[in-house]
Amino acid sequence: MPAWLAALAAPIVSLARDLRPAYLPPLLVYLAAGLQGITGIVGTFFVKEQLGLSAEFLAALGFWTLVPWSLKMPIGHLTDLLWRYKALLVYLGALLVGASLTIMALLLGEPAYMAGIMAPARWYVLASLLAPTGYVLQDAVADAMTVEAVPHLHSDGTPRSESETHAMHATVQTLGRVALIGGTVLVALANMWIFDGADALPAPERAALYRDVYLGALAIPLVSVTGVLIGAHLKRRTRARALKAGLSLSDARALAGDLPGSTRPNWPLLAGSALFAAFTLAMGQSELAYAQEIVFAGSLAILAWLMTRLTREQDRTTRATLWGTALVVFAFRAAPSPGAGVTWWSIDVLGFDAQFFALLSLITGVLTLAGMFALRSFMGRHGMVRIVLTLTAAQALLSLPTLAMSVGLHEWTQQVTGGVVDARFITIVDTALSGPFGQIAMIPMLAWIAASAPPELKATYFAVMASFTNLALSASDLLTKALNRHYVLSREVRDGAGKLLTAADYSALTPLLVATLALGVLLPVLAVAVVRLMRLRTA
């Protein structure tokens, strides 16, 4: 085998060797989360072709779809309280995801019937909220299962060292990202086949194709349910083998992943979460101009308070590390995106179709997996600050091709190269280079959270810490909404009779991309400066 190929394969072989059967249950739940992206392209074209929603509205909707992830705190605590019955939360999540997919299938298959009950845009909003609620239920259980999957004892009952368990936690979190991204790769391959020639189909046939995608996606919740069933089987088998080998019942349970400790209800957390949920729902129904900003501020305050309470019994170094790491990752993930308007511009101006978007998704997924394997040692050798700043610089550089195309770079390169280096060529190269960066920064953070979680509060601790970094995505959507409100991009919208309702206007694209680039660099750099100033630590 050539040396370069051996070097490329070594991280993959190493990670595969570290895979244990006990890791499979949470990995299947993460795989299901990756597979749900099969409806992403369909949703984009459905909104563009049939719903007259603005880029600002879609950014605002993106904020509300992230609100269920803020409720991961009580869901995580509920997982600890109902640990023996946590599978029920996965089943409930599967039902909610299935309901969301069914609504979208009916909107495409029976539009007149659905419109007679409620406006299509309202159905779309409902489906958009049901799906993340289902996934957050499953994700809270899966996160706790990653802690449970790492045994603190060897097969003979002797305890594992702290460094050994920490390495296993890092492996589980890496495999979790691999399962998630692997799901997106499978989805991209499926979409390339599904959308082959779809652009030439008449509108009714294209709508039927979109409907069939949603109907096929109903199989995805079964993947996460299968993970739970496999987990139950593995635990029973491990306990039985340990007891047969002469271990005590407590050691057999520990070896199977049943970590010791009992969880008592945290009534302030549950009551506060119930009030927060009611407050969020009320704000969602209100007409206040800054309802989302108020909800975000309240979420941030509650999470900061909960993090303070959960870490007050830890030593000062551990607390400083958790806070510093969380702040840096928060800032990195809070960077805004240009929003849906750039996708519309890609479709209307650059001529990208559904199959090409599937190709881009495939490239991103494959290279993200490759990047995670290739950069595994880099993540192990360097701290979070080094990782985040490196990724920030790389993402800034790799956003320049799109910015350049907004002022006509692709037209010049196409002319100079005889049509070879066109918009699609530039986009493919840019996607290939930037693909690995999206998921990498979270792996060290997740491994640190899993290793630091107290046994009796594994799901609660993971949920609160992960929710803090996930709340950064809400901040990202708020910034995206603000940018789209200031730099308005609009696609052409016509009514059923073909009357023009909104003309296409992408004149603000270049300043929007410049503002997005500037904030994407500024936020992480400021966060690192604040961490240094406050003398915090990072993982």
- pLDDT value at 257 more than 70: no
Q: Residue 389 and residue 375: Cα distance in Å, rounded?
A: 15
Cross-strand bridge partners of residue 502: 493
Between 172 and 118, residue with greater pLDDT:
118
- pLDDT value at 328 more than 60: yes
Residue 516 banded pLDDT, cuts 50, 70, 90: very high
Between 534 and 405, residue with greater pLDDT:
405
In the block, which residue shows the tokens 């979460």? 273
In the block, which residue shows the tokens 């996606």? 217
Rounded mean pLDDT, 152-174: 69
* 46-62 pLDDT, tens digit each: 777 777 677 777 777 77
- pLDDT value at 181 more than 70: yes
Q: Taking Cα atoms as reference points, which of 443, 445, 463 lies closest to residue 142?
A: 463
* 267-301 pLDDT, tens digit each: 777 776 777 677 776 776 666 777 788 888 877 88
In the chain, the N- to C-terminal Cα span, in Å, equals 37
Q: Residue 111 and residue 166: Cα distance in Å, rounded?
A: 52
Mean pLDDT of the chain: 78
* 199-223 pLDDT, tens digit each: 777 877 888 888 888 888 898 899 9
**Which residues are within 8 A (CB) of 241 and not within 5 positions of it... i.e. 6 or more apart?**
none
- pLDDT value at 114 more than 90: no
pTM: predicted TM-score of the whole model, two decimal places: 0.70
Q: Taking Cα atoms as reference points, which of 461, 424, 411, 420 lies closest to residue 308?
A: 461
- pLDDT value at 238 more than 60: yes
Domains detected in the chain:
21-258+265-271 (1.20.1250.20), 287-538 (1.20.1250)
Q: Residue 76 and residue 504: Cα distance in Å, rounded?
A: 45
Question: Strands, DSSP E only, in 361-496?
Answer: 493-494
Burial status of residue 495 (CB atoms within 10 A of its CB: 0-12, 13-18, 19 or more):
exposed
Q: Residue 122 and residue 111: Cα distance in Å, rounded?
A: 13
Residue 194 banded pLDDT, cuts 50, 70, 90: confident
Residue 255 banded pLDDT, cuts 50, 70, 90: low
pLDDT of residue 99: 93
pLDDT of residue 395: 81
Q: How many CB atoms lie within 10 A of CB 500?
A: 10
Rounded mean pLDDT, 427-440: 65
Residue 428 contacts residue 361 (beta carbons within 8 Å): no
Q: What is the helix (H) or strand (E) element at residue 365, kind and residue range?
A: helix 354-374
* 74-109 pLDDT, tens digit each: 787 777 777 777 888 889 999 999 999 999 888 888
Helix residue ranges, H only, 195-315:
203-216, 220-244, 249-255, 267-285, 291-311
- pLDDT value at 244 more than 70: yes
**Half-sphere exposure of 337 toward its Cβ, with a 13 Å CA cutoff?**
18
In the block, which residue shows the tokens 């023009």? 500
pLDDT of residue 94: 92
Two structure tokens written together for 527:
């966060």
In the block, which residue shows the tokens 């072709």? 49
Two structure tokens written together for 255:
């070896």
- pLDDT value at 119 more than 60: yes
